[in-house]
């Protein structure tokens, strides 16, 4: 058995720790819900062979320059914009992620947000709990129709397509923006590939599923918000910085947008004070993949990637 040292920056399901320890690896991990601090990561980075990181961990060039023994970074997420992948590659460090596993959980949540904001579910629940319900009324908590409306999907990767398949059950018209065409998706759902401006102008609901990159940062900026169909709803379960949050607040406040369902934020975990006061906004604490089954499978895959790289030099799910 090898005496490789592995650092896990936050508490994740035990299966990962068990798998790594069964290989004889020394595993450093938090015993409670307090993450390993950035300072401790800096202290450990020079002596560890493997790292299981989360999106909240910044694994940048300055940190990687000190990683003399590091062979693999297993990011506990589908995304990996928290890692300087290019520099890691230069140093011969393999970077992996957890794709596919969280597709259905995240798509379920995105569609739950869509239905909840359209039907004012959270607002209505709070109304009842506050003792304000005194009987049925013809104008009480009127929401918006979903069936037959147009859904615009920004980013038709695995999760975006999964959301589209769910919307087909509501007879929604589907528009999508993607760098490449998705013929199978189009054939199975009737989706149409369009440019961004067309999607913004025609969609009743817009759901964001693109990764965060230099090209997509503030993709929905003030100018593009002005192109959105008046009265539309915005759903974001991707990355907060795809949306210019200050502009989102303004377009919600002036009524151009009817509402928003958000699981991610531009300056996460900080959230705009104005968003916190808006009744037509649902705010979730980044729980897109938060099911017991999904998070356990993510942990298992992260551990498999660490083990595979250390034993063979090849990953199960390398970042390309």
pLDDT in tens, the chain (320 residues): 568 999 999 999 999 999 999 999 999 999 888 999 999 999 999 999 999 999 999 999 999 999 999 999 999 999 899 999 999 999 999 999 999 899 999 999 999 999 999 999 999 999 999 999 999 999 999 999 999 999 999 999 999 999 999 999 999 999 999 999 999 999 999 999 999 999 999 999 999 999 999 999 999 999 999 999 999 999 999 999 999 999 999 999 999 999 999 999 999 999 999 999 999 999 999 999 999 999 999 999 999 999 999 999 999 999 97
For residues 225 and 252, give the distance between their C-alpha atoms in angstroms, rounded to a whole number. Answer: 10
Residues 262 and 298 in one domain: no
Residues 116 and 241 in one domain: yes
Enclosing domain of residue 54: 5-100+292-312
Is 256 noted as a catalytic residue in this protein?
no
Which CATH number goes with the domain that contains 61? Answer: 3.40.50.720
Residues 81 and 119 in one domain: no
Residues 20 and 147 in one domain: no
Residues 204 and 242 in one domain: yes
Is 314 noted as a catalytic residue in this protein?
no
320 in any annotated domain: no
120, 158, 239, 308: the active-site residue? 239
165, 217, 256, 268: the active-site residue? 268
Find the helix or strand (DSSP H, E) in which 124 lies: helix 121-129
Number of structural domains the chain divides into: 2
Residues 215 and 78 in one domain: no
User: 194-197: which pairs have CB atoms within 8 A and are 24 or more residues apart?
Assistant: 196/154, 196/224, 197/227
For residues 187 and 172, give the distance between their C-alpha atoms in angstroms, rounded to a whole number. Answer: 15
Sheet holding 192-193, edge to edge: 192-193, 173-177, 150-154, 205-208, 232-236, 257-262, 281-283
Is 268 noted as a catalytic residue in this protein?
yes
Contact by Cβ (8 Å): 281, 258: no
319 in any annotated domain: no
Is the pTM of the predicted complex or chain greater than 0.85? yes
317 in any annotated domain: no
165, 217, 256, 286: the active-site residue? 286
Residues 257 and 108 in one domain: yes
Residues 172 and 77 in one domain: no
> Whose structure tokens read 């959105």?
228
């Amino acid at each position: 058995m090898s005496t490789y040292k592995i650092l896990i920056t936050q508490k994740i399901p035990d299966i990962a720790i068990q798998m790594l320890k069964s290989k004889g690896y020394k595993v450093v991990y938090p015993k409670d819900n307090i993450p390993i601090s950035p300072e401790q990561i800096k202290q450990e980075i020079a002596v560890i062979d493997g790292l299981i990181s989360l999106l909240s961990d910044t694994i940048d060039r300055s940190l990687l320059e000190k990683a003399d023994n590091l062979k693999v970074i297993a990011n506990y997420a589908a995304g990996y914009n928290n890692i300087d992948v290019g520099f890691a590659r230069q140093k011969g460090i393999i970077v992996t992620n957890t794709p596919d596993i969280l597709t259905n959980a995240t798509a379920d949540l995105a569609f739950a947000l869509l239905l909840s904001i359209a039907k004012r579910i959270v607002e209505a629940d709070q109304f009842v709990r506050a003792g304000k319900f005194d009987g049925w009324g013809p104008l009480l908590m009127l929401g918006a129709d979903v069936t037959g409306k147009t859904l615009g999907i920004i980013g038709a990767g695995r999760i975006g397509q999964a959301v589209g398949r769910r919307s087909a059950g509501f007879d929604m018209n589907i528009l999508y923006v993607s760098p490449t065409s998705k013929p199978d998706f189009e054939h199975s759902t009737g989706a149409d590939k369009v440019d961004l401006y067309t999607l913004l102008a025609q969609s009743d609901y817009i759901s964001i599923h693109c990764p965060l990159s230099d090209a997509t940062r503030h993709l929905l900026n003030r100018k593009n918000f002005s192109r959105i169909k008046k009265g539309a709803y915005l759903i974001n379960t991707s990355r907060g910085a795809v949306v210019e949050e200050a502009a989102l607040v303004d377009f919600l406040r002036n009524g151009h947008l009817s509402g928003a369902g958000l699981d991610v934020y531009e300056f996460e975990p900080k959230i705009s004070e104005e968003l916190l006061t808006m009744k037509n906004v649902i705010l979730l604490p980044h729980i897109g993949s938060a099911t017991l089954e999904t998070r356990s499978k993510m942990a298992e895959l992260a551990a498999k990637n660490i083990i595979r790289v250390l034993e063979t030099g090849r990953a199960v799910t390398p970042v390309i």
